[in-house]
C-alpha cells in the first residue's frame, strides 16, 4: 500500500481541525467525507477543493461512505456514535482511527476488542496527548531511570467548557447531553493514555480497580444564570455531572493513579500531570522537575536541596527523538501543538505496515472504560469497582510492541537518523 484511501466521518469542530494535519501526511488521500449536517459537508468539501485540490465523495449517510473503496476511516463524530460506527467500519474491512471519548457500557468495549480481533483490523484511539512534547520527554526520562521506580501518577482534564456545554444544541456539540444525564469522568483518556504507557499497562501491568467521587453540580447553573437568563429551558436544566470528579486507580504492580475531571468551573486549562518516583518527580503545574541527583548532575537553578528545575532544561537534554525529528522537518504547525499530526502519523504508519498500532484496541477499550466505571463508582458513593482485563490475561506476557519511531512503550533509537 503506497497511499491510504481515507474516509472521514464527522466534520464538526474536531473533524475540521484534523484536516490540515491529515493533508500534511503524504500517506493519506482523502477519498470520502460524511456528516449528518449538509452545511458541514458542503463547507468541508469546499475546504478540500480550495485548499488542497481534493475532490472527495460526500454524503450524509456514513454507511454509503463505508461502501466506498477505502482502506481506513477516521471517526470524529459525537461520543455516543464512536463505537457503533467503528464496529461497522471494521466489519466493512476498514482500519479505524477513532477520536477520543469515554465508553457508555462494558459491552461497547468488548465489542471493539472482539471485532478488531475477528476482522484483523486496527482500532486505534487517536489520543493525541500520548504524543505531547512534555509527555514524551518525561516518558524518555523515565525509561532512562531518572525518576527511579514509578510509584504514583496523576493527570486531569481541567478545562473551562461551560459555554460549549450549555449551548450544545445551538453549537451542534455533543457534550451537553452527557453533562445533563451522566456523572463520572466523562473524558479520561487525555490524562490516562500517557500514564498507562509509562506504567506498561496492558504489557506487564494492568489496572485492577477504581474508585470515583463527584462534587455537587453548580458551575453550569451559575453560568446559565449569569450569561443566558433569557433561556428558560437552560435555566430549568438539572445538570448531573459533578463539577469536580476524582478517580483513584490501583495497578497490579502497586502503582496508584489519580485522575481529575472538571469542565464546569472557571479555571485555566491543565492536564495536571504528575509522575512520582523513588528518585524524583515531574509536576506540570510547576512546569518543573526535581531529581534527587540534580546536584551531582550540575543542573542549573538549584540553590537548595529541594528546588524545582524548569522543565525546559531537561527538555534540552532529554527530549524524545520523535520531537527532535519533527522540529527539524520544519513542517507547518497544525493542530493541538502538533500532537494531532504525530498521532495521525502513528495511525498511518500502522495502516501502511498492516500491524498493531501503538495505541491498540486493548488500550482503546481500557481507557474508554474508565468513564462508565467511574459512573458506577460515583453512583455507589465511591465504592471500588473492578476494571475488566480486555487482554484476557495476555497482559502478563504479551509480545513487545512493534518497534517504530511512533512506539509508546519504548524509545526506538534505531528508527531515527543520528545527528
pLDDT confidence of 62, banded at 50, 70, 90?
Answer: very high
| CA dihedral angle for residue 141, residue 201, residue 154, residue 291, rounded to 10 degrees | -20
**121-139 confidence digits (pLDDT tens):** 999 999 999 999 999 999 9
pLDDT at 212: 98
Task: Kindly state the helix (H) or strand (E) to which residue 170 belongs, with its residue range.
Answer: helix 168-171
pLDDT at 65: 98
Contacts of 269 (CB under 8 A, 6+ apart): 158, 159, 160
Q: What is the mean pLDDT of the chain?
A: 94
Higher pLDDT, 303 or 351: 351
Q: All domains of the chain, ordered by start, with CATH?
A: 4-127 (3.40.50.720), 130-321+360-415 (3.30.360.10)
Burial string for 142-164 (b: 16+ CB within 10 Å, else e) reads beeebbeebeebbbbbbbbbbee
Q: Please give the average per-residue pLDDT across 56-82, as a whole number.
A: 98
Q: Say if CB 71 and CB 1 are below 8 A apart.
A: yes
Q: Is the pLDDT of residue 16 over 60?
A: yes
pLDDT at 304: 53
pLDDT confidence of 353, banded at 50, 70, 90?
Answer: very high
Q: Please give the average per-residue pLDDT across 348-357, as a whole number.
A: 93
Higher pLDDT, 330 or 362: 362
pLDDT at 275: 98
Please choose, from the candidates 257, 285, 281, 261, the residue with its C-alpha nearest in 3D space to the C-alpha of residue 273.
285
**282-309 confidence digits (pLDDT tens):** 999 999 999 998 755 555 455 556 899 9
Q: Say if CB 239 and CB 221 are below 8 A apart.
A: yes
Of 187-196, 276-285, 350-359, 374-383, which range is least confident?
350-359
Of all residues in the chain, what percent carry a pLDDT higher than 70?
95
| Helix 339-353 and helix 13-24, axial crossing angle in degrees, nearest 10 | 60
Query: What proportions of the chain, in percent to the nearest 5, are helix, strand and coil?
Result: 45, 20, 40
pLDDT at 26: 94
pLDDT at 329: 80
pLDDT at 284: 96
Of 60-69, 307-316, 323-332, 344-353, which range is least confident?
323-332
Cα(194)–Cα(362) distance, integer angstroms: 15
Q: Is the pLDDT of residue 236 over 90?
A: yes
Other C-beta atoms closer than 10 Å to the C-beta of 58 total: 18
Q: Is the pLDDT of residue 31 over 60?
A: yes
Q: Please give the average per-residue pLDDT across 24-44, as a whole number.
A: 96
**96-113 confidence digits (pLDDT tens):** 999 999 999 999 999 999
Please choose, from the candidates 305, 337, 325, 312, the residue with its C-alpha nearest in 3D space to the C-alpha of residue 411.
325
- Give the CA count within 13 Å in the CB-facing half-sphere of 183: 20
By CB neighbour count within 10 A (0-12 exposed, 13-18 middle, 19+ buried), where does 400 fall?
exposed
pLDDT at 333: 62
**303-327 confidence digits (pLDDT tens):** 556 899 999 999 999 999 999 999 8
Q: What are phi and psi of 311, to 5 degrees?
A: -55, -35
pLDDT at 293: 83
| Structure-block grid coordinates of residue 293 | 541527583
Beta-strand ranges (E) seen in 202-342 are 207-214, 245-251, 256-262, 274-277, 280-283, 288-291, 309-310
Cα(136)–Cα(405) distance, integer angstroms: 12
pLDDT confidence of 234, banded at 50, 70, 90?
Answer: very high
Cα(23)–Cα(235) distance, integer angstroms: 43
Cα(67)–Cα(57) distance, integer angstroms: 11
Cα(271)–Cα(159) distance, integer angstroms: 8
Other C-beta atoms closer than 10 Å to the C-beta of 118 total: 10
Contacts of 203 (CB under 8 A, 6+ apart): 395, 398, 400, 401, 409
| CA dihedral angle for residue 311, residue 312, residue 318, residue 320, rounded to 10 degrees | 100
The residue count for the chain: 419
| Structure-block grid coordinates of residue 86 | 467503528
pLDDT at 337: 65
Amino acid at each position: 500500500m503506497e497511499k491510504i484511501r481515507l474516509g472521514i466521518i464527522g466534520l464538526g469542530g474536531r473533524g475540521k481541525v484534523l484536516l490540515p494535519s491529515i493533508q500534511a501526511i503524504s500517506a493519506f488521500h482523502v477519498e470520502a467525507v460524511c456528516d449528518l449536517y449538509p452545511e458541514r459537508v458542503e463547507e468541508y468539501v469546499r475546504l478540500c477543493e480550495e485548499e488542497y485540490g481534493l475532490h472527495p465523495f460526500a454524503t450524509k449517510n456514513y454507511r454509503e461512505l463505508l461502501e466506498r473503496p477505502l482502506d481506513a476511516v477516521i471517526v470524529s463524530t459525537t461520543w455516543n456514535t464512536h463505537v457503533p460506527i467503528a464496529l461497522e467500519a471494521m466489519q466493512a474491512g476498514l482500519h479505524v482511527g477513532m477520536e477520543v471519548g469515554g465508553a457508555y457500557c462494558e459491552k461497547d468495549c468488548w465489542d471493539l476488542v472482539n471485532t478488531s480481533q475477528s476482522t484483523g483490523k486496527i482500532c486505534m484511539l487517536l489520543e493525541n496527548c500520548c504524543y505531547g512534547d512534555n509527555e514524551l520527554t518525561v516518558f524518555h526520562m523515565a525509561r532512562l531511570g531518572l525518576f527511579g521506580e514509578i510509584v504514583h501518577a496523576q493527570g486531569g482534564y481541567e478545562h473551562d467548557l461551560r459555554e460549549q456545554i450549555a449551548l450544545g444544541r445551538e453549537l451542534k456539540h455533543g457534550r451537553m447531553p452527557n453533562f445533563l444525564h451522566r456523572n463520572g469522568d466523562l473524558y479520561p483518556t487525555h490524562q490516562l493514555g500517557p500514564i498507562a504507557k509509562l506504567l506498561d499497562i496492558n504489557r506487564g501491568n494492568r489496572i485492577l480497580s477504581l474508585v470515583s467521587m463527584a462534587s455537587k453540580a453548580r458551575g453550569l447553573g451559575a453560568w446559565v444564570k449569569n450569561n443566558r437568563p433569557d433561556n428558560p429551558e437552560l435555566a430549568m436544566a438539572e445538570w448531573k455531572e459533578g463539577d469536580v470528579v476524582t478517580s483513584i486507580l490501583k495497578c497490579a504492580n502497586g502503582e496508584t493513579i489519580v485522575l481529575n475531571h472538571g469542565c464546569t468551573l472557571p479555571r485555566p486549562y491543565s492536564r495536571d500531570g504528575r509522575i512520582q518516583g523513588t528518585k524524583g518527580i515531574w509536576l506540570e503545574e510547576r512546569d518543573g522537575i526535581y531529581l534527587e541527583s540534580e546536584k551531582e548532575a550540575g543542573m542549573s537553578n538549584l540553590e537548595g536541596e529541594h528546588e524545582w528545575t524548569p522543565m525546559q532544561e531537561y527538555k534540552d537534554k532529554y527530549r524524545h527523538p520523535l520531537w527532535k525529528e519533527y522540529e527539524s522537518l520544519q513542517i507547518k504547525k497544525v493542530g493541538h501543538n502538533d500532537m494531532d499530526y504525530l498521532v495521525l502519523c502513528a495511525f498511518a504508519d500502522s495502516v501502511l505496515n498492516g500491524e498493531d498500532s501503538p495505541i491498540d484496541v486493548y488500550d482503546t477499550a481500557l481507557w474508554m472504560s474508565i468513564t462508565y466505571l467511574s459512573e458506577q463508582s460515583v453512583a455507589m458513593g465511591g465504592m471500588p469497582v473492578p476494571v475488566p482485563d480486555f487482554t484476557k490475561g495476555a497482559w502478563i506476557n504479551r509480545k513487545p510492541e512493534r518497534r517504530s519511531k511512533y512506539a509508546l512503550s519504548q524509545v526506538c533509537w534505531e528508527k531515527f537518523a543520528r545527528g
